[in-house]
Amino acid sequence: MVPADKAKRYTKRVSAVEPQLARELQKQGSFIQTRKVTQYYCVSCAVHSGKVQIRQATERKTTPTRNRRI
């Protein structure tokens, strides 16, 4: 299990028709329905599969520091 705030969501559109047949049907003016498929990956799996790129330290988000009273 991966915590929801750490999971990486990957969404793609999938068609039930093969791409070559889909092109021919679209040329004839037909509409081909697609559906969205959403998959959730942990950070290490997303990086390993190439879904997410590792960012440099300068490009990462920084969390603001809080002024703490003692």
| Domain assignment of residue 56, yes or no | no
Q: Give the integer Cα–Cα distance in Å for 42 and 52.
A: 10
| Domain assignment of residue 29, yes or no | yes
pLDDT of residue 18: 92
Residue 10: name the closest of 55, 48, 52, 44 by CA: 52
| Domain assignment of residue 54, yes or no | no
The total domain count for the chain is 1
| Domain assignment of residue 55, yes or no | no
Domain that holds residue 34: 8-49
pLDDT of residue 70: 65
Give the length of the chain.
70
| Domain assignment of residue 33, yes or no | yes
Residue 34: name the closest of 18, 45, 54 by CA: 18
Q: Give the integer Cα–Cα distance in Å for 12 and 38.
A: 7
Instruction: Render each residue's pLDDT in the chain as its tens digit; 70 residues.
Output: 777 778 889 999 999 999 999 999 999 999 989 999 999 998 888 999 998 888 888 887 777 777 777 6
